[in-house]
Structure 1
Amino acid sequence: MTFKILKSPHTHEEVIKKSLFMGVCFHCDKPTEFMSQLDQFADPAATHNCWAYKIGNEYRFNDDGEPSGTAGKPILAALDGSGFDHIGALVIRHYGGIKLGTGGLARAYGGTIARLLQAAPFTTHLPMTTLKLQADFQHSQMIFQLVAQLNGQIDDQTFSTRGATFVLRIPQQQVSAFTADIDNLTKGSGTLENI
């Protein structure tokens, strides 16, 4: 599955009814990495440090004293709707004296992260499958072309008296097409296996 990855930590601030909401998003690959970065970005002097993270199918959120479901859950919803993964988000609130109500809080927390992510620099993660391909020498040039056309990468190649062996990575969604192309190119003599 293709998803967006944040290139670097990104911030966004807005004042809503005299409360300052400061959003921070950052890349993380493990919950422990998220917690370490959360400690780095959180403001102990703030009224609330509400957060959420999404790492594949794993997620967690925290309202940090705000009414249940008004902060962490809307932050997580903003992450889910953004197309980002392997991401942590923190919203630091400095209370300004005017109560927002539960709907206002949810809009403020989720909206801060949603607007932050609209402007955040990202790269696209494309899941790859690693394959080992054995084929005759005569097919080497066409194999390079096929891999390049599919945005794949050849990591290793070796030559022996039996032909050429390639270790390559192909986007997961292109594996079936690549397999069919190799079968056609080599007339069934090429062998592919997952590594």
Structure 2
Amino acid sequence: MFKLIRPATSEREIKKSRFATIAAPVTDEEAAKAFVAENSFADASHNCWAWRIGADYRFSDDGEPGGTAGKPILQAIEGQEVDGVVVVVSRWFGGVKLGTGGLARAYGGSAAECLRLADKQPIIATTQLSVAVAFTDLALVEARLETFDDIAVTARDFDENGAVFRLDVPDSRLLALAELLRDLTSGRASLDPDILADPPADP
């Protein structure tokens, strides 16, 4: 699966109808709804859309015949293997009817073209890891974590014993990171989940 790095647009004309497409990354339903509202044209004949976020999805034909717009846009999202995305295809009717098959091809093709042109990157499976370290190990662990480009420190909370780091770690790096933290702290770091006690199975 892939995700969009930034919004993308495309435009094409089919039998005198103009189709303008915009796609963007989104993280939840509210963001998708807001994007649709902000990127629908008042003068367009139809503003059709679809979004997918994990297992959740929605689509709308916005007045086009049922199944000719929103569903083909969603199928384009699935065909391009993109997740966490919303796509709006706006149509300005040019006077020539496309028929139900033509509409489905036009909307689905417009969405697919836009997603093909978009800057994408693979979605990497990650795990949330909590690491509790004592004050004596804090500086060393913090300095080492700062050297990793692919491990995100999402929070750092202090208590009377030291600090708890919350990390977003690629699954492929979990075991190596756990072993590194154990070695850096001579086994004093506490991990949740405890990767070393129950290492992940090989894929």
- TM-score normalised by the chain length of structure 2: 0.72
Structure 2 CA distance, aligned partners of 1:108 and 1:81?
Answer: 15
- Aligned pairs (5 A) from 1:56-71: 56-71=54-69
Which residue number corresponds to residue 191 of structure 2? 192
Unmatched segments (≥5 aa) in structure 1: none
Which residue number corresponds to residue 131 of structure 1? 130
User: Is the alpha carbon distance of 1:138 and 1:59 closer, same or farther for their aligned partners in structure 2, counting shifts above 3 Å?
Assistant: closer
- Aligned pairs (5 A) from 1:152-171: 152-154=151-153, 156=156, 165=163, 167-171=165-169
Unmatched segments (≥5 aa) in structure 2: 194-203
Which residue number corresponds to residue 111 of structure 1? 109
- Aligned pairs (5 A) from 1:25-174: 25-122=23-120, 126=124, 127-134=126-133, 141=140, 145=144, 148=147, 151-154=150-153, 156=156, 165=163, 167-173=165-171, 174=173
AA paired with 2:130? L
Structure 2 CA distance, aligned partners of 1:53 and 1:11?
Answer: 15
Instruction: Calculate the aligned-residue CA RMSD, in Å.
Output: 3.3
- TM-score normalised by the chain length of structure 1: 0.75
Which residue number corresponds to residue 23 of structure 1? 21
Structure 1 CA distance, aligned partners of 2:151 and 2:74?
Answer: 33
Give aligned pairs, total. 190
Fraction of identical pairs, as percent: 33
In the TM superposition, structure 1's runs of 4+ consecutive aligned residues that sit over 6 Å from their partners are 157-160
